Amino acid sequence: MSMSDFSRRLIRWHKQHGRHDLPWQNTTDAYRVWLSEIMLQQTQVATVLPYYARFLERFPTLKDLATAPVGEVMALWSGLGYYARARNLHACARVVVSEYGGQFPTDAEALRALPGIGRSTANSIATFCFAARAPILDGNVKRVFTRCFGIEGFPGNAAVEKQLWTLAEELMPAKQADIYNQAQMDLGATLCTRSKPRCADCPLGEICVARATNRQVELPHRKTRGELPQREVTLLILRRKNRVLLERRPPVGIWGGLLSLPELPEQASAEVFVAQRLACQIDGVLSAPTAIHTFTHFRLHITPLICNVTAHPRAMESGLEWHDLGDLEHIALPAPIKKLLTALG
C-alpha cells in the first residue's frame, strides 16, 4: 500500500460517511476550534456537546473568556474532569488577548507554546483554521495507526509515540490536509472504536493488519499496570440550615482550584478541628456511607462526616465559603462532591 492510497481512502470515505455537522466544524474561527480541541481531550463528543454550548453562550468571544474570573470558568467546567484543562484554557485566553491582540497565532509552533496546547492540538488548529499541512495524533488516530499498520507497544510509550509521529508525517497528503485530519478522527470515533470496531464498513479494512490477523482487540496495546493504589480521605459536610461550607482547593493537585468539602486531617477530632480551624460550633457528628471515586492513577475512598453547625463567624477565613445547596449547579465542584451534596437534598 502506498502512503497516498491510505490518505485517498480516508478522504473518499469521509466525504460520504464522516461527521459534518458538529458545532465546531465548518468554521475557521480559531477560538471555537481551540475550545473544542481542549474539551475533546480524553472526552467523548457526546459529553462535550452541552459543555461547548454553555461555554459559548457565556463566553461568546475569546476576550469574554479571558476577562472572566477563573472561578466562573471552573464552575462551567465542573463535571467535565481533568480540571487542569480549564485552568490552562483560561490562562491561554489571557495570553492570546494580552500578547496577540486576541487573535491566535497562525504558526503551529507558536500555538504549541501557549498554555495547555500540545503538538497535536496545535497542528489541528493550524490545519483547520490556517490551511497548514500538519499531522495530528490524538487517541483516535493512534488507534487507527496501530491497528492498520500492526504497530506493537503501548502508544503512550515515548519510543512508540515517536514511531507514530513519524508515520503521521509520512502519511500526510499534499492537499486536503484538513479533510484528511478530520477523517482520521472520525474513523476512530465511529468505526475503529476501542471495542466492537466495525471492520466490515471500514475503508481501510482491506489493508488493515489487525483485521487480517484478528488482533483488533489486542491493538493498540494497553499500558501494563498493577492494581490501582487506594487512598482514603475524610471530608466534612458542615451544614447550617440549607447552606454548606466549602473550601477552595490549592491550584495544583486533584480538583485543583475547585471548591470542595473541608478535609479532616488523619487522627484529628472532627469537633476540635471544626472549632479551631474553621471557627464553627457543631451539634454532633454523623457518619455517612463511604463513596469511592476512581482517578487515572488511584482510587479514592471518601468518608463523609455530616456536622450540624449551630454557630459560625460572619467573616470566614480566606478560601472558605458558604453556599446554598440549591445552587450546586452553578458552583465549581468535583463530580463526586456534587453527588454527595445533591444526596443531602
- The residues that are catalytic are 37
- Using alpha carbons only, give the angle 244, 335, 296 rounded to the nearest 5 degrees: 135
Neighbouring CB atoms inside 10 A of 263's CB total 15
Asked whether the beta carbons of 66 and 235 are under 8 A apart, the reply is: no
- Taking alpha carbons only, the member of 87, 96, 39 closest to residue 62 is 96
Asked whether the beta carbons of 260 and 337 are under 8 A apart, the reply is: yes
- Helix (H) or strand (E) segment spanning residue 46: helix 45-58
- Using alpha carbons only, give the angle 234, 236, 237 rounded to the nearest 5 degrees: 135
Residues facing 309 on adjacent strands? 282
Q: What type of residue is 80? A: L
Cα–Cα distance measured from residue 24 to residue 44, given in angstroms and rounded to the nearest whole number: 14
Pairing of strands 230-240, 299-311: parallel
